[in-house]
Amino acid sequence: MPVLERFRLHGRRAFVTGASRGIGRAVGLALAEAGADVALAARDEARLTELAAEIEPLGRRAHVVPLDLAKLESIEPAIHAAANALGGLDLLVNNAGVTYRAGFGIEDPAEFDRMFDINLGAVLFACQAARPHLAAGGGGVIVNIGSIAGTKGTGLYGASKEAVHALTRGFSREYANDGIRVVALAPGQVYTDMGARVRANPDEMNTLLHHTAQGRVADPAEIAAAVVYLASPAADFVTGTTIAIDGGRDFFARR
């Protein structure tokens, strides 16, 4: 197979969470551009409908899935319905997430529950719900969006994302016999709504950029491109790992 053909996703069917904005929106559009039909899941149905209208002229199907991932019991029926609408599933992208700004100083148990339900619980239940559909098609790919905050141990948000990295490793072993690859990405700072608080704080932003080799924030499309690679046959030997995509943030300090 020619090398560029290995990156194509023609005929694949994907389910993307948090698809109404930021990384998820970019992922939905990129997968469609690569040839996949996509189920777009998030709470904001209006934004999903707008994205679907961008995708359909590409000749791909876009199925809108209004879904509140904090309601864990709603995930399985949503994935089953999307699989029925698309005629199966080949790819799950667990992108949706929420952050908490106060490090480890959380005081409201309800807020703690919400963050871990969405950042970790939704990933768990989505993987479990997607597994039979992926296996029925002869295998597939799950891409979990973690965070460099997990590998760096940054607050409770980082703890929830490091748990996603651990879940990725475990599921990659458990699902291997079904022909399912499970991988994670750990983005650094990305130009999304979630990162707006950091970008609005000059001191915090300058510190972050000082420790980033490229000295800038990522565009969501750069994360989406990595998802396309991981979802494609080009990455058929990649599973069970978390790949940092952070502009060289981990061990670098700019002079």
Active site amino acids: 157
The CA distance from 18 to 64, in Å, is 12
SS3 136: helix
Cα 55 to Cα 21, 26, 51: the distances in Å are 14, 11, 6
Radius of gyration, alpha carbons of the chain: 17
| 185-197 CB burial, b ≥16 within 10 A, e <16 | bbbbbbbbebbee
Q: Which of 37, 19, 21, 133 is nearest to 77 (CA)?
A: 133
State phi, psi for 65 to the nearest 5 degrees: -125, 95
